[in-house]
Structure formats: C-alpha cells, structure tokens
Amino acid sequence: MDLRNTWDQWPDVNGRFGEFGGRYVAETLMPLILELEAEYRKAKEDPAFKEQMDDLWTHYVGRPSPLYFAERMTEHFGGAKIYFKRDELNHTGAHKINNCLGQVLLAMRMGKTRIIAETGAGQHGVATATICARFGLKCVVFMGETDVERQKPNVFRMRLLGAEIVPVSSGTGTLKDAMNEALRDWVTNVEDTFYCIGTAAGPHPYPELVRDFQSIIGKEARAQILEREGRLPDVVMACIGGGSNAIGLFHPFLEDEGVRMLGVEAAGHGIETGEHAAALNGGKPGILHGNKTYLLQTDDGQIVDAHSISAGLDYPGIGPEHAFLRDSGRAEYLSCTDKEALEAFQLCTRLEGIIPALEPSHAIARVGEVAKELGPDGLIVLNMCGRGDKDVFSVAKALGVDM
Amino acid sequence: MPTSRISDAFARAKGENRAALVTYIMAGDPDLETSFEAMKALRDNGADIIELGAPFTDPMADGASIQKAGLRSLAKGTTLRDTLKLAARFREEDQTTPLILMGYANPVFRMGYGEFASAAAEAGIDGTILVDLPPEEDGELREEYAKHDLSVIRLATPTTHEARMAKVAEGASGFLYFVAVTGVTGAGSADPKAISGNIEMAKRVSGLPVCVGFGVKSGAQAAEMAKIADGVVVGSAFVDHAEKAHESGDFSSAPRGMGVLAQELSSAIKEVAKP
C-alpha cells in the first residue's frame, strides 16, 4: 500500500487505522458513539464551533504555546539544535486541556449535562474539572485508589474545582480500572452523561477526535519552526503513554517525508523485567477499552498491569494510531526507564530552568542520543507536554529526599 | 448440529408453554471442579441453557459480583483453554443442554478466532456472547463460526432502537440476549413494564428467541420476565453462591446453593406458564 500523502484518510469509515482501532464496546454504548461521531462531523464543519474553540484556546488556555530554543541543553549534548514545544505552559499545566475543551464543547452541543472522566496522575482529571467548572457542568472523575493516595494535591485541586472523585478499588485499582469504572458508569447513565476520554484511545471516534484536538500542538510547532529556522525539523519527539500529546505533535508532520517521528515509551524498571508500560515495545495486539491496539497481556489474553514512575504513562495500552504508525514504519518508538527519566528530569531543570513533568522527562532522556546522531546541523522539536510541579513529591521520594 | 441444541431447548420450553431458564456461572470460581459440579446441579434443577463465563481481567460491562468472580477464577490460574476443557467434560455426560461461553473479546482474539472456533466446537460449546464484540467488529469471528455451526449471540439493550436492532440481528443466531437495564450485570432491578415494548420489537425484528437478563435475581422477578420473554437469564445471583463458598472454604455449598436457586427460579417460571 502506498501510504504517502494518505495519512489524513485514517481512520477509515469503520474507525480503523489499518487493522487497529475500531469500536469494541458493549451494545449499550453503540448508539452513543455513533451519535457522537455524527455530532463531531457536524461540529467540524461548523464555523461557530471552531470560533468558540479558538477563542477559548487563546484567552483561556493561553495558546499558542511558545517554541523555545533549549540553548544550554543543545550545548550540553553538542549535537542538533533542540527546541521545546512548551505545552506545559497551558492553563492547568499540560496538553490535556486542549482535548478536554474540545470534548466538553461537543458534550454541550449534544445536550449532555454530566461529564465523566478517568485519570491516572490527575492531569486529565484536573483539566476536565477545570473546563466543567468554567461551563457549570457536573463532573465525576474516576481514579484508581492507589493514584488517589499518590496524587493528593491533584485530588484536592479537582475537589476545589467542584468535581466528585470516585476512588476505584475494583480490579487492581489503577488507571485501567478507573477506565473500566468510567465505562460502567457510562453504560448506566447513557442519557445525560458524556465520557471525556483523556487520551487518543478508546472506541472510534475518540482516537480521531482527541488527535484532532491535540493536533493544535503540531500545527503551531510546524509554523513556528518554519518561522524560526526556515525549515522543517529532522526529528519530532514526544513521550507516549496513551499517546495523545505525541499524536498531536506528529500528525501535522506526517506528510512531511523528511521528518522522523520518535515516540518514547516508559520502560519502568526495564522492559526485560516485565515491569514497564511499553505497549509497543513489549506488548502484543489485542482488544481493550473499545479499540484494537498493542497491549501488555499474557498469552491467555489477560491484561497485565503497567508500571512506570510516571503515573501519566502507567497504562497497559496505547492509542491505535500509534500502533498503526509503528507497524507501517512511519514512526519509531524507543523507551526509557524510570531511572533515566529521573536523571533527565534533573538535567532539564538545572540546564533550562524548566521543571518538566516525569512524562516528557522520558522523551528528554532520549534526546541527547538523537541530537548527537543528527550532528550540529540537525533540528529537533520535543514536546514539553507537562510541567513537573505535580511530580516534585514523587521525585523527592525516588531520590531519597525527605521533604 | 450444535445450533440445534439451542433451538431444541427453546422448543422444549415452548412445548411446556414456558420461558427457558438460562443460568450463568463463572468458570473456575471457586475452582474448576466446583464449576463442573455446579453445571450438573443447574441442569438437574431446571436450567435449560448454561452460560459459562470465561474470566477476563477487565470486564467493563460487569458489576461487582461478576468482576470479583472473574478475579477469583484468574487467581486460580483459569485460562480460556481451561474453560473449554470444563465445557468438554460436561459435554461428555450431557449431550442436550446448550452451553454458551460468555466473556470478552481479547482472550478469544489472542487465541485466534479460527483456533478458538474449532476448539469451542470440539468442546461442545454451542455459541458465544462476547460482550465487547458488536456486529461491526465480529465479521471475522462469524466466518470462523460458520464453519462449525457455532452461534453468535448478540446483546440488545434499551438503547437499541429499531433501526439498530436490524443491525444487531444481522448474522446473529441461537437467541438474542436482551439486557434489561442500562447498566452493568447485577445492578439495579429490571422493570418488565418498561421493556416489554422493546422485547416485542426485538422478537419481531430478529425472528430469534429473546432472553432477558441483567438485574434478575429472584423467582418473582424471573416470573415477571417469563411473561414477556422466551427466556430469562440469571447470573450474579448464582455467582454470589460461588463467592460464599470461596469465603467459607466449603466449596460443595456452591453447587448446593445454586441448585436450590435454580429450582426456585424454574418453579416460578413454570407457574406463570403461558396459556
């Protein structure tokens, strides 16, 4: 198949990216996701929807986010020029709000009054609670019991914003179980409820619409680098959990053949230990949470818990479009251990005065090698998808510092 | 012919002017030996069809009761192949009671649709209900099932409007499983009045026997549903007996308790036998 210049055609009418994606949901939800798809098609064509998004992006979220030349990090590695796309400067401190804003506006078009969401680290939960507060909507956030304990500041922020937090103890009490519980709530409350999914995964049309909302990252970055450097970058790179920030950065560059895409998965204690969150590097194709994609699983098809120091990457699956980009060879996926991410976290903080979240620290951990490989004439854009304020407690703990 | 076991079961019930009793248990909960005893107890106490749950780590359409049952079974190491072996063992001594495997797509996908279909038919399974495999996604599976006369049993819900029902019925066989509540298994209680219109529509559009499940726990509720449907499915209430057995350590209490419950449900259904 000739895939050049055809990236925009995915997903196909069945919601598939090649063999991945689809709509693997219980029948109760089928009418809803078909309705959501129809409504999304209408919204996409509606200038008023775009206008409303643009206005809120500019004045509420703070877009466009800057493209910053990381001069000292570039010097440190002595290779290609490294630019950061500063999505950590968005309102609420991460790229998550780009998507929440779009989904909540869609929910309101559909007449839904209650928004549910799942969250791991709490960033998607905070972003959803924020937008719900802004529009006066009821917000319920499902969060694994262990994450509620680990992420107390974000739990309190969500409560301040008026959201109800439901600690999830079913299954193993992690992000995947929070997602199961959100799906259970959704089938129970189909009439008034909209499920705001936090990453570019789930049943069609979620992977598509989350990608579209997050593509603002790549569109801005592409225009900004052309303006700054007069040419396209050699490499765009981002960390990958479910993969929403990465697909947002990658997608607008897909048809630029000379631009390499590098995703960095969380290798936890190391892929060889089995304790990791690298679905592409250590998983196999399977079906979960509404889509077919790479999953961490046993030979019997049971889902295995992910592990990462970064709660935002701690998920046993990955968005279906990444599965497709990897199998088609258009994007490459590396990995980075907890230890390497911690070192990169500190390096970036010291060299650039930017405390990155642990998630993008995974991408930063690989950027040096890539920069050296490209040499001084090279150009890299790395997505700084979140700030590290939320992580200072867990980093202190990992470094053995008693605060 | 495997499918005929299902149609024969409905024909027998119809011959007695009553709805069929469809019972669900989780394979391997509290262990596989107990499940085997439970299957026989269900059959001996009036179950017309047995649904065998195949455990999955992430059962997103199930309530607490069946979620926990699946985790108990997985903790014992139950695999999809074990569930098939359990079915085969039951089939050796019972050639009439239809066996339906109920679960989620991933373990089946992982085994491979072709391999699963042939192994399931070999084990004497008559059909499957894979909750997260809607009509849009089960084409490949259906092709494999057709080779072995396995039934694809689909779910319809109160949100399934008439146009959608046609899609749900397309390629379905055996029976149609009507989910009585918008919610997860075991939650709430179904209101027969609210859904009787939907069930009529489901029968008319699908041309299949329609069984009602989710939220049916007692003989009285089963009787109400038996008035409007071709079959009544009870799951969580049986699974609760496995939970008690697991907790007490007296595994033999599970088949005993399940037998008593099946008897109660079966009698209640027979009492409202249609004229």
> Is B138 annotated as catalytic?
no
For A64-93+215-398, CATH number?
Answer: 3.40.50.1100
Instruction: Supply the DSSP string of A164-179, one letter for each residue.
Output: EEEEE-STTSSHHHHH
**B62 to A115, A171, A337, B199: CA distances (angstroms):** 21, 12, 35, 22
Count CB pairs under 8 A between chains A and B.
119
* Residue whose token pair is 């991945």: A20
Report how many domains make up chain B.
Answer: 1
The token pair that represents B28 in the structure block: 């391997």
Question: A27-57+96-210: what CATH class?
Answer: alpha beta
Give how far the C-alpha of residue A185 lies from the chain's centroid of Cα atoms, to the nearest Å: 23
CATH number, domain of B107, equals 3.20.20.70
- From the candidates A23, A24, A292, which should be mutated to test the interface with B, based on the most B CB atoms within 10 A? A24
Q: Which residue of B has its CA nearest to A32?
A: B159
Return the closest-CA partner of residue A119 out of A51, A70, A66, A168. A168
| Three-state secondary-structure class, residue B69 | helix
Predicted confidence at residue B4, as pLDDT, reads 87
Q: For chain A, which residues make up each domain, given as ranges? A: 27-57+96-210, 64-93+215-398
Max CA-CA distance within chain A?
A: 57
Q: Which residue of B has its CA nearest to A301?
A: B107
Of the candidates B51, B82, B144, B243, the residue annotated as catalytic is B51
A184–chain B Cβ distance below 8 A for any pair: yes
Q: Does the pLDDT value for residue B3 go beyond 60?
A: no
Contact B184 A289 (CB under 8 A): no
> Is B137 annotated as catalytic?
no
**B2 to A203, B35, B170: CA distances (angstroms):** 33, 22, 20
Q: Which residue of B has its CA nearest to A185?
A: B183
Neighbour count for residue A102 (Cβ, 10 Å) = 24
Contact B59 A180 (CB under 8 A): yes
Q: What's the gap in Å between the CA of B275 and the closest CA on chain A?
A: 33
Check: CB of residue A216 under 8 Å from CB of residue A96: no
Contact B110 A180 (CB under 8 A): no
Check: CB of residue A244 under 8 Å from CB of residue A319: yes
Q: Which residue of B has its CA nearest to A293?
A: B106
A303–chain B Cβ distance below 8 A for any pair: yes
Contact A289 B136 (CB under 8 A): no
Among the partner residues B58, B136, B183, nearest to A188 by beta-carbon distance: B183
Which residues from chain B sit within 8 angstroms of residue A30, using beta carbons? 134, 136, 159-160, 164
- CA-CA distance, A260 to B88, in Å (whole number)? 52
pLDDT digit string, tens, across residues B123-165: 999 999 999 999 999 999 999 999 999 999 999 998 899 999 9
Check: CB of residue A83 under 8 Å from CB of residue A379: yes
Which residues from chain B sit within 8 angstroms of residue A317, using beta carbons? none
- CATH fold match for the domains A27-57+96-210 and A64-93+215-398: yes
Q: Which residues have C-beta within 8 Å of that of residue B53, sequence separation ≥ 6?
A: B24, B25, B26, B27, B29, B66, B69, B70, B73, B102, B103, B235, B239
Q: Does the pLDDT value for residue B275 go beyond 60?
A: no
- From the candidates B74, B132, B185, B214, which should be mutated to test the interface with A, based on the most A CB atoms within 10 A? B132
Predicted confidence at residue A277, as pLDDT, reads 96
Neighbour count for residue B270 (Cβ, 10 Å) = 17
Rg (CA), chain B: 17
Strands of the sheet with A331-337, listed across from one edge: A67-69, A81-85, A379-383, A235-240, A260-268, A331-337
Q: What's the gap in Å between the CA of A271 and the closest CA on chain B?
A: 21
Check: CB of residue B238 under 8 Å from CB of residue B23: yes
Return the closest-CA partner of residue A9 out of A286, A335, A263, A254. A254
Rg (CA), chain A: 19
Check: CB of residue A345 under 8 Å from CB of residue A310: no
The token pair that represents B128 in the structure block: 């499957």
Predicted confidence at residue A345, as pLDDT, reads 98
Contact B80 A27 (CB under 8 A): no
For chain A, residues with pLDDT lower than 70 are 1-5
Predicted confidence at residue A174, as pLDDT, reads 84
Q: Where are the alpha helices (DSSP H) in A164-300?
A: 175-188, 206-214, 216-229, 244-250, 279-282
Among the partner residues A23, A31, A303, nearest to B136 by beta-carbon distance: A23
The band of B117, judged by pLDDT with boundaries at 50, 70 and 90, is very high
Number of continuous H segments (helices) and E segments (strands) in chain A: 16, 14
- CA-CA distance, B49 to B46, in Å (whole number)? 9
DSSP letter (8 states) at residue B19 = P
Q: Could you tell me the residue range of the domain that residue B100 belongs to?
A: 2-271
ipTM of the complex: 0.96
For residues B71-96, give the mean pLDDT: 98
Predicted confidence at residue B219, as pLDDT, reads 94
Contact A28 B159 (CB under 8 A): yes
The token pair that represents A96 in the structure block: 């998550």
Predicted confidence at residue A1, as pLDDT, reads 46
Number of continuous H segments (helices) and E segments (strands) in chain B: 12, 9
Predicted confidence at residue A309, as pLDDT, reads 92
Neighbour count for residue A385 (Cβ, 10 Å) = 31
Instruction: Describe chain A by its helix, strand, coil percentages, rounded to 5.
Output: 50, 20, 30
- CA-CA distance, A315 to A242, in Å (whole number)? 7
Q: Which residues have C-beta within 8 Å of that of residue B172, sequence separation ≥ 6?
A: B135, B151, B152, B153, B154, B206, B208
pTM: 0.96
| Residue A265: strand pairing partners | A240, A335
Q: Which residues have C-beta within 8 Å of that of residue A163, sequence separation ≥ 6?
A: A125, A128, A129, A132, A139, A140, A141
**Dihedral class, residue A381 (left if φ above 0, else alpha if ψ from -120 to 50, else beta):** beta
Contact A303 B161 (CB under 8 A): no
pLDDT digit string, tens, across residues A12-57: 999 999 999 999 999 989 999 999 999 999 999 999 999 999 999 9
Contact A300 B80 (CB under 8 A): yes
Mean pLDDT over each residue of chain B, to the nearest integer: 95
Contact B160 A23 (CB under 8 A): no
Predicted confidence at residue A121, as pLDDT, reads 83
